[in-house]
Amino acid sequence: MLVYLIRRTRGLMTAAALASILAGLFSVMLIAQINTALTSDAASRASAAWAFAGIAVALMLCRMVSTALFERLGQRALAELRSFVAQCVAKTPFAHFERVGSARIQSALTEHSNNVAVLFVSLPVILTNTVIVVGCLGYLAMLSWQVFLFALGVIGLGAVGYHLVHLRAIRYLQTASSEQDRLFGHFRALTDGAKELRLHQDKRHTFINQVLGASVEGVRRLRTHGMSLFVISTSWGQFLMYAFIGLVLFVLAGNGPNQTQVMTGFALVFVYMVTPLEGLLINIPRINMARVAASRIDDITREMPQGQERQASPRVPALQRLELRDVTHQYYHEQSDDVFELGPINLSFTPGEVVFLVGGNGSGKTTLAKVLVGLYSPEGGEVLLNGERVEADGWDAYRQLFSVVFSDFHLFERLLEAPREDLDEEGNRLLAKLHLQHKVRVENGAFTTQSLSQGQRKRLALVVAYLEDRPFLVFDEWAADQDPLFKEVFYCEVLPELKRMGKAVLVITHDDRYFQLADRLVRLESGKLLAPEQSADAEVEVAPSVAT
């Protein structure tokens, strides 16, 4: 992930890094100029002052350019990262998306992406301070190579201690990152389950204190341990620096003619180097947090394979006949705590036909609908569109045949599916048909509000399905949240109108009083289609093609 971002921003990254390196070099030159001025005579101080001023101005400009470019890089990296993850989510097959889970995806789009972007904001400090520390060490070597070697040993000792603590800190941060994915799931439950939490006091207290609270505390504890270890290692490094200054001034200082100048230079450079070294040690944990976050995003995006569903043709063929032939699909079934097999299913649909799909809870009706519309790929059998098998690279084009209102439907802010001139007029006509004209309108291709009851929002979803104007419509328990008036409108007005328009319609329903309005009644039990004589009610005539 980090390599991807750096490759996408290579030019800007090079310019920003160069400005940071120059800023570090000018900082070292500045401290060298200060040390020279302290030991120079009055005659040479005028030229030294001009040199000092020029270096200071150059340092200021380089830092301004570096910080501005890296800030721009950080924002661009965040945008690129979120776009990349969003593209992965949009392109991955639905079954893979369900396995990854929305909580992990939300975590990748927010916390993990922010941690990666912060790295780019920290890079100018890291690069500049690295150059300053290395440059100061080089300057010390010029003053006295013996004391320089001693300084190198002290820094090496600090680096070993820092590295050992650093490894343990990273493990804490990685564990905290995994726990945060679960925490995002609890945050979603806090909002999605708002009604249930308010209706049940014990449930609310248990969730807040034991489930959500434990997860919040777990993330806090793990991150605190990890960052505390970084602070300890930073303090250890600072102590070694000051210990070295003390040794140089009070132990190693000799009585040679230039020894005072050398010791003054060492003390000055080391005092100057402490702040960049502190900045370096403080910002290194951000690199590690960014690595952990990028690794989490890598793991998530690897579980969402891309490029598997290339659209064979941008044009969707007209629907003449759709057939499921010996189609099977397996999934985990909660009621039986076992792998549930749907099928083999043999079923066909034609335009201008209304089919009701009925069956008990857990019989596989919604799963069959998802297989039918191409959200789930069948493990066995084949799907035929107009007599031709739908191949692996044609599923995306195949899905464009359908408009679906699932029981867990989602309404977007805008009517993204149907950009046309008469969209507002047609949408408002449908709203009036569903008695919603006094609560909501379509203006500029968007609903004026979605703050409605669940039943009313389902009517908005029905309007969206109408406006998409696709040849096959699927309704998953659409009437379950409607009062008797709108059930009557749906079954006796909407479905006949769709039939007259030549649409193929599949309705998943339990409303047996309307079964006689279907052209065919298909009954599903335990994942199997029942034969007509087994599924027929005494009062309902079932077409002979129910099993075909």
DSSP state of 512: G
Q: Tokens 């010996």 map to which residue?
A: 326
Which residue spans of the chain are classified as CATH 1.20.1560.10? 2-302
> Nearest 5°: phi and psi at 473?
-115, 140
Distance of CA 541 to the CA centre of its chain: 50
Residue type, 414: R
Q: Residue 22 forms beta bridges with which residues?
A: none
- Cα separation, 164 vs 233, in Å, equals 9
Q: Angle formed by the axes of helices 42-91 and 10-39, to 10°?
A: 160
pLDDT at position 421: 75
* Cβ atoms 354, 498 nearer than 8 A: yes
Assigned architecture for domain 2-302: Up-down Bundle (1.20)
Residue 523 has pLDDT above 90, yes or no: yes
- Cα separation, 120 vs 71, in Å, equals 7
Q: Angle formed by the axes of helices 259-302 and 145-192, to 10°?
A: 30
Class level of CATH domain 322-547: alpha beta
Q: Which two tokens stand for residue 372?
A: 């039918």
- pLDDT tens digits, 83-108: 888 888 888 888 878 788 777 888 88
- pLDDT tens digits, 106-122: 888 887 888 888 877 77
- pLDDT tens digits, 36-86: 777 666 667 777 788 888 888 998 998 888 888 888 888 888 888 888 888
Mean pLDDT for 194-203 is 75
- Cα separation, 384 vs 401, in Å, equals 13
Residue type, 126: I
**DSSP string of 37-103, one letter each residue:** HHHS-HHHHHHHHHHHHHHHHHHHHHHHHHHHHHHHHHHHHHHHHHHHHHHHHHHS-HHHHHHH-HH
Which residue spans of the chain are classified as CATH 3.40.50.300? 322-547
Q: Tokens 């070694």 map to which residue?
A: 240
Q: Residue 357 forms beta bridges with which residues?
A: 508, 522
